[in-house]
Every structure is written in structure tokens, then in C-alpha cells.
Structure 1
Amino acid sequence: MQTMGHEMFVGVRSASEVKEVFKGIIDLTLGIATQGYFDPAASTQQIDASCLVNADFHDLAARNGGVAVLSEADEERLRADGRDDDHIEHVRRLIRSAGGELVLSDAGIRARLEHIGVRSLPGTISQDRLLVHRAISEGQRRAALFHDARVVASGDPLEFLMTQGGTLTASLQAPHTAPSTRTGPSTAGDTQQVPSEANATPPLLSELVDQIVQNVVRSGDWTVGTGDDVRRLMKQFIWIIGDKPCLDYVQADVAKFRQALWDMPKSVRVQSIWGKPYALAVEKFPKLTPANTRSNKTINKDLSYMSTFTKQMVAVGHWPVNFINPLGLAVTITPQQKSSGRVPWKPVHLEGLFNSPIYAGNKGSKRRLIAGTAVFHDAAYWMPLLGAYQLGRRDEHAGHLVSDFVFDQGTPHILIAPNEMRCLKTPESERFLPIHPRLLDLGLQEFVEAAIGRGEKLLFPELWLNAVKKGGDQYYSISWRKLVDWLRKQPNITIPCTSAGKQADFHSIRSTGLSQLDRADINQNIVSDIAGHSREGTTARSYQKLLESGGLEDVLQERLKVLSRLPDYAAGVKRHPLNVMHVNVRTR
């Protein structure tokens, strides 16, 4: 089995370094927080209260990425710990004084590490921030116990608080909920446990999922939509394997999960049944057939998501390095599997789609596929056109911002780049695409400019309203699936499918276009550029030099000539006056 080398986790502290940071900051905090106890004129009660306020303040910062936030759930938890109104108000004052910014700047974190003799490492600032806040919070809690009878009886209060204080503070922090029975989403305040030297039970994995996913989304590695997908995947993992203390999982659990995905028909809608025990739900699964078996490519994608999740668990200190290795279970995809994974449409199918009532006239929201006189402009109208004439991936087009479209600088074009709604599959996927004349003829510029005029940032905001399905997934659910069902019912139409029973889908539009451009007299390097694939024999550096030399217009013109070779599937579609419904009823 393949194992992860330490070099894969550059920028992550080792367990011994984590321990050194935690102990060092506790030591420093105890030295600062207990100074008042040695002043005969100081009020011991006030110092105790101040220590607890500071402890809770830094705990809140640790729970929210370094920014102290007091949610209703946090306040309820603090009151359950015995905090009164005065205490809560003092915490609020500290939060207001921070002004919604990081409580400790990056420089402040590094200065504290330097003070305790710990070197700063590239890329560990987020982990260090969490550790420092947790350690300050723990140190302040220990300081508040300076006059505890057990501490006084030791004869050396500071030594006792350093070496045994964790046992005292752990005994004061009993859980107030039963996380294993929780069905709703956890709050940020539920996702982290205060480290201590006591043998406390590690948090349940279910308590950590939301915050770990949020961390990766904030880092820019996942979009919000991808984060939602991973959240569902990890909940599915917990449903199948069981919700255990996070350190109780082993590599065999990941292997068991992979096997369960192989054995589960892809037609099973897990979210509708995961309220039942998995052992009971699996008995009702439909029979597994070649047509409803998950592809190895899909399995590998899920394992890749789990791998990124694992790295973040390591980064924040919940799992040690090399704890589990999801990618060690990745499946080899053969060239035959790659080539047979998706079947293209034929031009007659796409012509049929563009003859549907969505384009010819319909009866309005939720009746878009019933013949009528109205034509509306939204994702239901534009997504198939963008796929057929621009050859982008589904999620690339579903995640468009209005700022992606440029109409007043040379050849009208689209920028496909990462943004908060979408990630790109490869670095080569970031590209400029000239807008096909057919889309301009049908009013794409008017549609985009009207969206800008309404103050909309997203080209298709209706695809991002659903809390569960977003972007391309939402488009598939509320529009594409129904459009294909309509096409299936048309005379002399058979939906293409692979030998394994996989039917043509939205991505097959792209396959159709690329197949149409696979001709001897068409430069295939340009086709690769349009598709967002890497060029054969052409380095990314030389291509970048072309753009830097002011050659964007030449590049756009080259690509436009190639795109113009596509069959004009929507030649029969007439332009209608711009007609945009309220966002809540678009693409219905």
C-alpha cells in the first residue's frame, strides 16, 4: 500500500513541535496572568474573573479562525459553564475592542513563538494561530486556579499548574450536549476541543466536519459548492462507518467505505435515507447493475476529496501525519475506461434540444417544456447554448460571474478562471474564449448587461439559492434532467448511451463539439486551448509569452475561427425580446 511521505505535509508541524508550542505558550501565559496574585493590594477575585474572561475570549478566537465571535450557541454554552451577565459583558467588550479583526496578527503569532524559542515555519500560521489561542485560553484557565486548595497544598503553585493544571481544567469542562445524536449542522463553536495534558476523549468526527470543510473553502482550495459536496461525503462516511472519536479511525475504515461505495447503486439518494441505520438501509438498496454502478473515476474523486479533508485535519492538529491515506486506495483508470466513460450526442440531438419549448415558446415557470408563446432568458435557456458553442464544462458555465464577459475590448470574449463559485479542473482550464457569433445573435450581451444593471454578480444566481444543491448540480436537477426527458419523448429520438448503460449528459455536449473539431485541417493545439487541455508539445511558458506580448486579440481570433467550424445547432432559434423572471422562479 502506498504511504504518504512527510514531504507531502510541508508546512505542518510535527506532534513534538505542537507539544512544544502548546507548553511554551501556557508557560508564558501563566507567567503573565499570575503576576497580580503576588501583589498584596490586588483583588484575588477580580484577577480570577479577568483570567476567565481572557480564557473565553481566546477560546472564541480559536473557534473562529482567530477572530473572536460570540454566537448565541457560544453564549448558551458559557452560561451553562456558570458564566454570569457581568462575565458575558466583559467578553463582549473584548470582542468589540478587536473590531472584527484577527485578535493576534501574523506578526504577533511569530513574536510569541520566537519568545518561547520555537521557529516559525512556512505555511503553518493557521495551525500556529489555533495552537496559540488554545494555549493562551488554557493558561488563563489554569491561572484562575492559582488559589485552588490543591494548588496551594502543592507548595509550588506555578509548577503544579504547569505540570498538572490540565487535569484540573479538564475536570471543569464537561460536555453539555450529546453530539452523536445531533442531526443538524454543527456550529463553528462545536468543532474544536481544548487541548490539555489530561486524557480527554478526542472529539467525534461529526463535530469537526463543518469547520474542517469551512477551513478548506476559506483557503480557496474548494468552492462553496465543492465544500457542500465534501460535507455530504463525510457525513456519508460517518453514516456507513460510524461516528467515532476522531482518533479511533483507521485506514481499514476508508477501505470499507470505498467498498460500500462500489456496492451502492448510484441511483440511491443517500440524503433521503441516512436518518436510518446503514445496516437497515442497505437491505432496501436496488439491485446493482452495470448501468447504476459507480465509476472508478467517481470513486477516485471522492477519495481525493477525503485526502484534502485529511490534510486539513492534520494541519489543525486533530490527526497526526500519515494517520490515514485515502489516495492510497485510488483505483487505476485504464485508457479504455477513460474513453468509454462518456458518449457524445449527435448533431440531431442538439438540434432537437434547441427546438424545445424553452427556445420556441412555452407557458412560463414550471411549464417551460409545454408549448406556448413565452421565451424566458435564464440558465435553462443559456446553459445548453454555452455548452454547445463555447465547449466549457458544466460547472465552468454554471459558475460564471457577469464580470467574466467582455464586450467592449476587441473580440467579445469570456474569461474562465477560478472564483468563489467554481474551481478549475487543471491549470490549463484557465482561459479566454471568444464568444461564438450565434450567442451574440441570440442576445447574450443584452442578457449580461441587464444582469449588471440589476446589480447581480452571478450570471445565473438562481442556481445558487438551494442550500443542498448548487451550481451545476442544481442546474442538472431543475432543468437539464427535464429537458432530456422531453427529448426522449420526441419521435425518432434515442438517447445515446455507452455499453455500460451510461446515457449522454450535459458533459456530452462538450464531447460532441470536440469530436466535431477533430479534423485534419483544424489545428488541434487551438482545440486544446479552447477545451482547457494542455497542449501537446507546446509549453505553458511559451503560450504565456504570447499573451504577455499583447497577442490576446490574435489568440481570440484564432480560437474564433475554430469555434466557427462547429455545426450551427441553434440556427433555427429566433431571438426574442429579453425576458427575465424573478430570480426565485428562473430555470424552473
Structure 2
Amino acid sequence: MEHEVRTSAAGLTPEKLRAVYHNAVKTALDRYLTQQASSPWLAEDHLLSNIDHARYFTMIASSESAPRPGYAFYRDLKDAGLSSEEINRMQTVASYYDGGSAINPAYAAAYLREAGCSPTHANIERVRRIVAAGYRAACIEASAALGAPDSANQLPPLPKALEAVVGTPALASCANPAQPPTIAPPPNAGTLPTPPTAPELEGIDCPISELAQIAFETCFANKKWSDTCRGDVRGVLKLFIAANGDLMLSQIRQSHVALMSRLFPQMPATWGKMQKGSTKAKPLFETVEQALERGKTMKKEWDADPIAAEIEEKPRPGLSVATGNKHLQWITNIFEFGSAHGYVPVRVDVKPLKLKDKEFRHEKRRAWEPEELATLISGPVWAGCADIDHRLAPGDAIIHDAMYFAPLLLISHAARSEEVNGLMLSDVIDDHGTPFIRYRDNAYRNLKTKHSRRSLPIPPQLIELGFLDYVRALRSAGKDLVFPEMWNPNAGFEKTFRDKVFYPLRDHHFPDGTSRKKDGKDVDVHSIRKTGLSRLYRSGFDTNDRNRFGGHAVVGETDSTYTEEAEATHFVSMVDELWKLVPAIDPAPLNLRPTERLQFGSPRGRPTTL
């Protein structure tokens, strides 16, 4: 049914309505062209977004109320002949605007003022459909700027009454997005009003890169964000800017986050990681564009011969579900930081964009085979190496440091890497009863959650290998950290341990990978933790004791509220069980690293090892 476009004596003459329409077109088109010009390699995604939004604005212009996501919306789109993929995209668009409005009243008020009309609430409501028609035209013209054929034939027409007011769009298609098309004045309207002034913003407006840098500096400095997440924050910012350009906060909409998420299936899974063995720790890809090109190559390899790709264990293109969802959460964290600190609020909902993992959680990361884990903890590091710069070459030197002790603690405590490698000497309690380690936040790193705080006994076998003597010697040397060579403020404990200890050990013992590789990925540091906790489960230990031991939340009101923190002696039998994973190691006289090497890095000209 055609709806009449209402006017009133409040100054909304047909000429002024057309002026409102043209103001809306120009403002929206300028924004769309800027976004497209800043990320031209995403032309296909821009075209999809343009047609989806043009369809959505057509629905607003043709109805008394905006469409809402849900089954009725689904049926309407299905009846209109849209495909499942198109319907899903439209549901995403409608979900973002649900509860709000795609026609910002502040912008509508600005268009009215520039047209010489009073921006009353009633007038803003009266021009809602006019503005929607203008945004529709801007979407069509933005597609034309990308060289696409006229997309108007893919859309339902505007109501005839509305077309009679706004007239035929007078925009000249432009194939060069860097040159915005000229807008002809509406008939009999005189000179086109100047572009509307921007509505007053709710906070400080700035590019997203600037907000991210402020959030980065603030949240890592006050330990609100873990140091291990620095790469995640940098990565999601690169992806967002690659998809949309360095937008101002006031410009960011749901569609921009959706555009970023469309890059996930096209990226190599390890695009943001550092190259192993690189002296300057260069990323695998300098730019997102390079990563996308690599992703295309990977896809071609799998499409050409999936059987051969499977046999050869070639990596699949696409970020994992967990990584993609993590990126969506981090972009939300950046926006929430901005809102809390007086910046323009960015209201996006990443829930519709998140994917569900088809794997069971216990299948996501494989555990070590006990025999292979024992192999990892063997060889020159514990039996005798050449010297401090050649730890994996056989010799007579045994050096007590992170490479010697940290893997043993990781196994016997089933601990997280940053927990062990970030221990302070004050966290080792050895002055009464059973010596134990107190895992807690300290000046160098925070634990993952509040449940991670716990006290675990030091294995007697580790004491026999000289661990307490090592700790006391470091105290006498005036050190703060149990493993001072692991402290690299630019990388964090977890990454430093992986690069300097774990990867060299794994590559030395398993040059072709372990037997536990899955989808081209091998077992890693965190797999040690899974190995230990799985062994405690199979050994029949109580669920909540295992939760406390591993630093997880306990289950049940009684244990979580009314039970005090367990003492270290409570876990002696669990530590004894996990030490069975460690092969026999002969004790050796205490031998610390040279004084100048009791810190991260090595002297100039030396190998890049610990």
C-alpha cells in the first residue's frame, strides 16, 4: 500500500523537502566515498554493504516504521526472492539498528536547518522517510563510483508519492571514488544549501588509531590488559583500518565491524605472528594486504587439490573461530575504553558477527604424548651443553636458569607460561615447612583471573636439582625475578619463553613435528598445561581440587563461598603425580648465568639465544 508523504504548515514545502533530500544524499555519499577510497582492495565488500543498506533504507522510506530483525523480517525477505546469504546480511544490518534508528535525529535536524526549516521533533519525524530515500540514493551512487552497473534495478522502487517529492536523483555517476560527484540543485529550489554542520557530538572525536593507542598505553600500563594480549590489540586495529580506513569514532557503524569480520576467512591463521629465528622479530606479513594475498594463494592450493593439501598438511586459509571472535571482542574493548574515558561512544554489537565453534572445547588443543614430552625435557640442557650460547649442542656445561628450571615447573604445576616465567623471588616461600610457590599478581605481570591465585608445593625432585639454591643465589645477587632473562617489556614473559626456550627445544627434538600435529599446527606450550590437567583427571582427583590446582573457578556455592583457599600441602600428591611426566635428571653443581647475562638479551655479536 502506498503511503502519502505528509507535510504541514511548519515550512516543509516540496522545495524544502527536496533540499533536505539532497543534503542527506551529499552528506552520506561523501562518507561512503571516503570509506571506499581508503580501502579499495575491499571493493566487493563495499558493494555488498552498499546494496544491503540501500535495501534497508528503501524499507524505511516505504514504511511508517523501520524493519526489525526476526522471523517476520525473514519471511518478508524470503518472499521478496532474496537468497539465504542476502537474508543473513540484511538480518545483520537490521540487528544493528534495532532499538535505535538508522536515521540519526541530529543529522535530520541539521538537514532541516540547512533547508531553512525548524528542526522540531515533529519535523524530524516528518522528514525521516525523505532522509532514508537520500541515504538510499547515496548507496546506489557509491556503488556506481566503484564501477558497478546501476544497482537500483536490484531494489524495490520508492513509493510514487515519495518519488514525486524528491524527484529523479540528479547525481552524476562517478567511476573515480576520489572525485565525489556533483549534486544538481532540486528543481525550483534556488541555490543548493551548504552542507549541514555536524551535529554536536557526545564526547571527544578522533581517529580510531588514536583512541587505540591511548587505550593501548593506558590499559597495559595499569595491567588492566595482560601483556600477552599486545599482539591481539595491534592485530585487530590493523584489520579494522584495512577494512574501513582510519575512521573517526563518530563515523563508525555496525557495518564497519562487519566488513572487518569478512576478512577473517581470507587471512592466514598465523598472519600476525613473528617470524621464528628473526633477529629483529619481524611479523610474518608487514601489511594486511600481504596477508590477504597469501590467504588467496592458500585457498587456491586447497581448491585445486584438497586431498593432496590434506595429505601434505598444508595450512588452511582463515582465522580460527576463537581468533576471529577474540578480534571482535578486542575491537569492542577499545570502543568501551573510549566511552568510559569521554570519547564519542561507538555503539556496535558484535554478537551477531561471532561464530560458533563446531569442535568440542577439549578438541581444540591437543595434549602431548607423555613419551614425547619426556623427550622435550632431555638432551644437552639437562645432560650437558657446549656453553651459554649453544645450549642444544652437547658438552660439559649445565647452566641453571629459565631454560633448565621453567619447563620442569610448567609440567609439575600444569601452570600457564607467564605464571611461571613471571615469578618474583618473593613468590618462592622456603623459610618454613613445605617450600611452595605463591602464584599472585606482582610488579611484572598480572595473573589471568582472580582464580589464578594459588599456592603449590615445590616438587622435592626439583629441590634436589638445586632450585632453592638457585633462588637463594639470585637473592644474594640482588635480583627480583626468578628468571630475570625472561623479562622483556616489549614482548612479555609468554612470548619470550616461547621464542627463547620452547621453540628451540621443540625444533631440536622434533624437526619434523610431533605426532600430535593437527591441521598443520603442532602441540605448543599451553599443551603442556592440558597434558598435566588431563593426567590429574584420569588419575581420579577431585574436580574442585583440580580447578584450584589449575587456577580455575571452583564449582558450587559451598566451595566457592564457604571454603577457604587451600594450603600448598593440600596439593602434594597432585604434584607428585605430575612429576612422573619428567624423565630422570641427574643433579649438577649450581651454575648461574654470567652476571651480565642475568637479563634479557645477549651481547652484541652473540647468537640470539638466552
Distance change in 2, residues 1:281/1:304 (3 Å) = closer
The one-letter amino acid paired with 1:287 is M
Residue 426 in 1 paired to residue 426 in 2?
A: no
Offset of residue 337 of structure 1? 3.3
Structure 1 gap ranges (5+)? 7-15, 17-195
Q: Does 1:237 align with 2:240?
A: yes
1:481 and 2:503 are equivalent in the alignment: yes
Residue 534 of structure 2 corresponds to which residue in structure 1?
Answer: 515
Cα distance in 2 for partners of 1:535, 1:282 equals: 43
**1:558 corresponding residue in structure 2:** 570
In structure 2, the CA distance between the partners of 1:560 and 1:273, relative to structure 1 (3 Å rule), is closer
The answer to whether the aligner puts 1:287 opposite 2:306 as a matched pair is: no
Aligned with 2:329 (options 292, 299, 304) = 304
Q: 1:432 is aligned with what amino acid?
A: S
Tell me, yes or no, if the aligned pair for 1:525 and 1:536 is still in contact at 8 Å.
Answer: yes
Letter in 2 for 1:247: S
Aligned residue number for residue 580 of structure 1: 593
Q: Counterpart of 1:363 in 2: which secondary structure?
A: strand
Structure 2: tracts of 5 or more residues without a match: 1-91, 100-105, 107-198, 274-281, 300-313, 603-607
Give 2:544's aligned amino acid: N
1:543 and 2:563 equivalent?
yes
Q: What does 1:281-430 align with in structure 2 at a 5 Å threshold?
A: 282-285=292-295, 286-288=297-299, 293-320=318-345, 323-326=347-350, 329-334=353-358, 336-430=359-453
8 Å CA contact retained: 2:226, 2:448: no
* TM-score of the aligned structures, taking structure 1 as reference length: 0.59
Deviations 1:243-298 (A, max 9, x none): 2223222222222222323321123347647655x446522445156556432222
Q: Hey, what's the Cα distance between the residues in 1 that align with 2:360 and 2:250?
A: 36
CA contact (8 A) 1:378 1:587 kept: no
Q: Measure how far apart 1:443 and its partner are.
A: 1.6
1:472 to 494, 502, 508: 494
SS class of match (2:392): coil
Identify if the C-alpha distance between structure 1 residues 355 and 201 changes in structure 2 by more than 3 Å, giving closer, same or farther: closer
Query: Of the two, which has the highest radius of gyration?
Result: 2
Question: How many residue pairs end up in the alignment?
Answer: 386
Q: Name the structure 2 match of 1:263.
A: 266
Q: Would the alpha carbon gap of residues 292 and 371 (structure 1) be closer, same or farther in structure 2, given more than 3 Å must change?
A: farther
- Alpha-carbon displacement from aligned partner over 1:176-214 (angstroms, at most 9, x marks no partner): xxxxxxxxxxxxxxxxxxxx9799994322223222222
Q: TM-score, normalised by structure 2?
A: 0.57
> By how many angstroms is 1:332 displaced?
2.9
Residue correspondence of structure 1 range 191-206 to structure 2 within 5 A: 202-206=205-209
* Preserved CA contact (<8 Å) 1:201 1:245: no
Indicate if the aligned counterparts of 1:344 and 1:509 stay in contact, CA closer than 8 A.
yes
Deviation at 1:340, TM superposition (A): 1.0
CA distance in 2, matches of 1:375, 1:578: 7
**In 2: Cα distance, 1:351 partner to 1:339 partner:** 22
The 1-side partners of 2:351 and 2:475 are apart by 43
* Residue 479 of structure 2 corresponds to residue 456 of structure 1: yes
Q: CA RMSD in A?
A: 3.4
- Could you give the per-residue CA deviations for residues 25-67 of structure 1, whole angstroms, max 9, x where no partner exists? xxxxxxxxxxxxxxxxxxxxxxxxxxxxxxxxxxxxxxxxxxx
What percent identity do the matched residue pairs reach? 27
How do 1:179-198 and structure 2 match up within 5 A? none
- Measure, in 1, the Cα distance between the counterparts of 2:492 and 2:540: 40
Aligned to 1:222: 225
Q: Quick check: 1:342–1:504 contact (8 Å CA) kept in 2?
A: yes
CA contact (8 A) 1:466 1:474 kept: no
Cα distance in 2 between the residues matched to 1:261 and 1:374? 47
SS in structure 1 opposite 2:420?
A: helix
Spell out, residue by residue over 1:206-258, the C-alpha distance to the aligned partner (whole angstroms, 9 max, x if none).
22322222222344311344346424532443244322223222222222222
| Aligned residue number for residue 85 of structure 1 | none
Secondary structure at the aligned position of 2:437 is classed as strand
Q: Give the drift of 1:370.
A: 1.3
Deviation at 1:310?
1.4
1:563, CA displacement in angstroms? Answer: 1.7
Displacement, 1:380?
A: 1.8
**Aligned counterpart in structure 2 of residue 569 of structure 1, from 581, 587, 598:** 581
